[in-house]
Every structure is written in C-alpha cells, then in structure tokens.
C-alpha cells in the first residue's frame, strides 16, 4: 500500500489529506459494560442468574485518552485503525502469548484477526495456490476444509487415534505422496487442531506434538495450529461419582500450577519458526467478539497483515474496546488467568455430567468413546458390525438410520461423516459428535438417555 505516514509527524502540519471521519460525528459518548468481578467468579448455576454483587460496571468514554483516564477510548477505538489492531490491546495479547507460550525464537510477532475461521482463510490465501494440497486430521473442522476447497486447495486426511493426528500417519502420507496420483505437489501445510479437536475431542499429548513437529521438520512443513480450545483443558474424569461434577472440580492452586498443567502448544516448541498459531476469543470470552490473534515469525505476520489490510482489517473497534476494558483495564493478566481457571472448572463439571450419562445410558456393547480431556466435544463410536443389516447395507445408510432415530427421539447430534475433509471417500466407521458446551445438566443427561434409546432401537435384532 502507498504510505504517506512519514509526513504525519511534521510539526505544524495541517492534515487535509487523510480520509478519516471526524470523531465529533461518532454518535457514541459513553459505553457501559457490566462484567464479572475478579477474582471469584460465581459458578454456573444451571440457568440461574448470578447475584448483582458478582458484577462491576466498566465505563469507556469518548475522550478518556485526552483526559488521561485510560489508554484506550471511544474516539480511538471507533476510528480507522491499523490492521494489526490497536497497539494498546495488541500489547496485552503479546504479553499473554509470552506468559503462556514463550516462543523459543527471537522474531516472533502477533497480529489481531477476526477469529480463527478468517485467520485460516487469510493464511491459505497468502501461502497456497490453486492445485495445492493441505493436510488435516481425518475428521476435521468443516469450515477449514471448505475454506481450502473454495481456494482450490484440496485436503488430504491424516489418520488419527485417541490422541488426535498420528505422527507416523503424517510421515506415511508425505513419504508416499504420489504427485501424479494426487494431481498436485507434496503438501507443505499441515492444519491441526491439537487440543480438544473438533469434532473428535482428541488432545495431542506433549510427546505426540514433539513427534509431529519432528515430522514437520523432516518434510519441511508449516504447521497451522488452530487452537480455540486450548484453555478448555480439564481435570481428569474419575468415574460417574464425579457427576454432577460442579463440586468435584476445583481450580488449580495457583496461576503457575495452571500454566504448568497446560499441554505445551506447538508455538512453545517451535524452534524453527514453522508454526502459525491461531488464538481466538470465541470459546473463552464470546464468539461475537470476532476477535483473535495469530503468532508466527515476523515475516509471515507482516504478510498476513498486508492481506488483512485489504480484507478484514482488524476486529471491530467496539469489540477491541470491550475486550480491552475487560482484559487490560479490569482483569489484567492475573484476572484473565483466574477467568480461564474458572472456565476449566465449569467445563470439567459439564464434561463429567455427560460422561456419567454415557456410562449410565449407552449400550456399551455398541457405543464406545474416549473421555475428552479438553474442549467441548465427545466423539461416540458405534460398532457398525453389530447392526442387524451390517454387510447388506452401507455404513452411510446405517449412519442415516441412527441419525433419523436420534431426531425421532427429539435430540440432535452431528453425524461423523459430515466432518471428513473429502466426503466422496468411503466411510470407515460410524461416529456421532455430542457437545456438553451449552445445554443445562439435566438436558445433557436426558439427551444422552434418548441417544441410548435411538441406538438400541436401530441396532435391535429383527
């Protein structure tokens, strides 16, 4: 882009050149935001309102910066800004990234995004060409494969196990890559959701991450680390007696303990600068903020910014201001960690309720699952060989039959087949994705009970 910014600091300069509207015409004088108090957040109470005393009021004024009362205000937030986001807020994100991931190389940098979906789209636009291939888990976040497809980038599946993407599988796909058969060059991008993967809920162990990183080094891959569920890592599930769970989980004793309990990110082991890490506020603050950030080597971040300048730019000023007020002015780093520890307790309780319901209501000779240790999803595997018409009908048909039975039970789960990057591929198994993210505890239990009925109905011998 053409930049005339170098003249803007000329003393006495009268600016008739820029295209910025006059803030006098921004019809906002004050923004009041009622937010939870730090540090004791009240537990989720199954739909009941929290006490008034649990909250406090934050106020953003139009001229707080000129008046010296805050580092960010309506005048600045609502004005055109730079694509990396307001410097005041970006600084908080850089500090947070250093605190949690401490990337082991010098020239890492962050830039704000409008969330991970967009961050992936922008990243693919800047790194790939039509006809390229990207690698992903064999079941993946649908929007990722679709974003790639829209750009003419195909997605090749890497086998998974209960710990997510397999390092040997990744190595095999790359070692045996046949350009002619695939109709495209060997991939240089691997897209992975390492924590609480969508849809399988799988979390890669620290060792798995190191093994995958070594494969990425061997095959010169760039790792796209899409990690919106990173902070939704939970306490272990010890059995149905953990349910309803709210009392069973307790927050880590200190911020240090909490940080140490988190599985290391790819960014934190990235000695080469081959990781583009994507963080989002969607799952830890609110999806409607449409805000997140990437962390990567400066050169890549610069390129990302150049793309963002011409498309999304930074997140909305309102969103940045609200997040700044909450995170920097009110909670600070310590308060934000308290909030994240609070979420850990909440999600542990939710997960425990669903696991206890699965233990109680699902026929274990047909349905199996691994207990998720992070995220919001439980991946239920149905043993299709026990279906009365197994061998006579396709897995697709059996999956559809189970789905219809679940719907008749007035419950909704997602079919596993919907999450394959290449839906033309033959289905290898029957899975359903269930989430404990939002339903009240009693509905989680009732939903799983209904699922149990639907499975028994579909799999009953004729």
Summarize as ranges the residues that interact with ligand PMP (CB under 6 A). 115-117, 141, 193, 198, 226, 228, 280, 282, 287, 292
- Contact present, 64 and 70 (Cβ < 8 Å): yes
Q: Which is nearer to ligand PMP, 103 or 228 (CB)?
A: 228
Q: How far is the CB of 115 from ligand PMP (least distance, A)?
A: 3
> How far, in Å, CA of 214 to CA of 343, rounded?
32
Residue 88 contacts residue 328 (beta carbons within 8 Å): yes
Our CB check for ligand PMP shows the closer of 139 and 141 to be: 141
How far apart (Å, rounded) are the C-alpha atoms in residues 77 and 4?
Answer: 22
Q: Which is nearer to ligand PMP, 212 or 362 (by Cβ)?
A: 212
Q: Who's near 284: CB < 8 A, 6+ residues apart?
A: 231, 232, 339, 340, 343
Q: Which CB, 225 or 346, lies closer to ligand PMP?
A: 225
Nearer to ligand PMP, 83 or 145 (CB): 145
Q: How far apart are CA 137 and CA 157, in angstroms?
A: 6
Pairing of strands 30-36, 55-61: antiparallel
Q: Which helix (H) or strand (E) holds 90?
A: helix 87-100
The token duo for 63 is: 């001229």
CB of residue 229 vs ligand PMP: minimum separation in angstroms? Answer: 7
- Rounded alpha-carbon distances, angstroms, from residue 297 to 5, 182, 305: 25, 31, 12
Q: To the nearest whole angstrom, how small is the minimum distance from the Cβ of residue 226 to ligand PMP?
A: 5
Q: Please report how close the Cβ of residue 225 comes to ligand PMP at its closest, in angstroms.
A: 11
Structure tokens at 91: 């600084």
Comparing CB distances to ligand PMP, the nearer of 65 and 284 is 284
Cβ proximity of 73 and 256 under 8 Å: no
Half-sphere exposure of 116 (CA within 13 A, CB side): 24
Q: How far is the CB of 34 from ligand PMP (least distance, A)?
A: 23
Shortest distance (Å) from residue 293 CB to ligand PMP: 10
Q: Which is nearer to ligand PMP, 199 or 452 (CB)?
A: 199
- By beta-carbon proximity to ligand PMP, the closer residue of 347 and 459 is 347
d(CA 111, CA 301): 7
CB 294 to ligand PMP: min, Å: 11
At 1 the three-state DSSP class reads: coil
What pairing do the DSSP bridges indicate for beta strands 160-161 and 164-165? antiparallel
Strand partners, 411: none
Q: Which residue has the tokens 């997510």?
A: 164
What CA–CA distance (Å, rounded) separates 165 from 158?
Answer: 6
Nearest to ligand PMP of 292, 317 (CB atom) = 292
The least CB distance from residue 312 to ligand PMP, in Å, is: 11
Nearest-angstrom CA–CA distance, 261 and 409: 39
Q: How far is the CB of 227 from ligand PMP (least distance, A)?
A: 8
């Amino acid at each position: 882009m053409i930049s005339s910014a170098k003249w803007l600091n000329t003393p006495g300069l009268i600016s008739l050149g820029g295209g910025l509207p006059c803030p006098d015409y921004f019809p906002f004088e004050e923004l009041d935001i009622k937010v939870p108090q730090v540090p004791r957040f009240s537990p989720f109470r199954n739909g009941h309102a929290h006490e008034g005393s649990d909250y406090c009021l934050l106020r953003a004024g139009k001229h707080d910066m000129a008046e010296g009362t805050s580092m960010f205000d309506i005048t600045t937030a609502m004005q055109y800004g730079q694509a990396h986001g307001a410097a005041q807020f970006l600084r908080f994100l850089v500090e947070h990234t250093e605190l949690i991931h401490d990337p082991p190389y010098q020239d890492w940098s962050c830039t704000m995004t409008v969330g991970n979906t967009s961050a992936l789209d922008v990243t693919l636009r800047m790194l790939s060409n039509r006809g390229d291939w990207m690698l992903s888990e064999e079941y993946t976040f649908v929007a990722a494969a679709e974003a790639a497809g829209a750009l003419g980038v195909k997605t090749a599946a890497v086998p998974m196990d209960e710990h997510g993407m397999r390092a040997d599988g990744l190595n095999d796909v790359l070692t045996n890559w046949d350009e002619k058969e695939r109709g495209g060059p060997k991939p240089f991008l691997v897209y992975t959701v390492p924590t609480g993967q969508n849809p399988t809920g799988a979390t890669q162990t620290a060792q798995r991450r190191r093994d995958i990183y070594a494969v990425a080094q061997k095959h010169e891959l760039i790792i796209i680390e899409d990690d919106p569920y990173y902070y939704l890592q939970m306490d272990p599930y010890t059995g149905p007696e953990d349910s309803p769970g709210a009392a069973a989980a307790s927050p880590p004793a200190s911020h240090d303990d909490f940080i140490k309990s988190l599985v290391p990110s790819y960014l934190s082991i990235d000695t080469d600068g081959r990781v583009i890490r994507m963080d989002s506020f969607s799952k830890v603050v609110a999806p409607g903020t449409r805000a997140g950030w990437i962390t990567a080597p400066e050169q890549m971040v610069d390129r990302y910014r150049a793309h963002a300048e011409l498309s999304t730019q930074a997140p909305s000023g309102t969103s940045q201001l609200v997040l700044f007020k909450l995170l920097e002015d009110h909670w600070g780093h310590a308060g934000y960690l308290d909030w994240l520890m609070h979420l850990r307790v909440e999600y542990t309780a939710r997960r425990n309720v669903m696991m206890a319901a699965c233990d109680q209501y699902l026929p274990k000779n047909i349905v199996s699952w691994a207990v998720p240790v992070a995220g919001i999803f439980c991946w239920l595997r149905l043993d299709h060989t026990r279906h009365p018409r197994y061998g006579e009908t396709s897995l697709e048909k059996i999956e559809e039959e189970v789905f219809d039975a679940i719907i008749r039970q007035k419950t909704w789960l997602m079919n596993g087949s919907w999450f394959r990057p290449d839906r033309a591929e033959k289905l290898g198994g029957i899975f359903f994705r269930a989430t404990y993210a939002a339903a009240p505890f009693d509905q989680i239990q009732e939903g799983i009970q209904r699922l149990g009925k639907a499975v028994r109905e579909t799999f009953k011998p004729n």
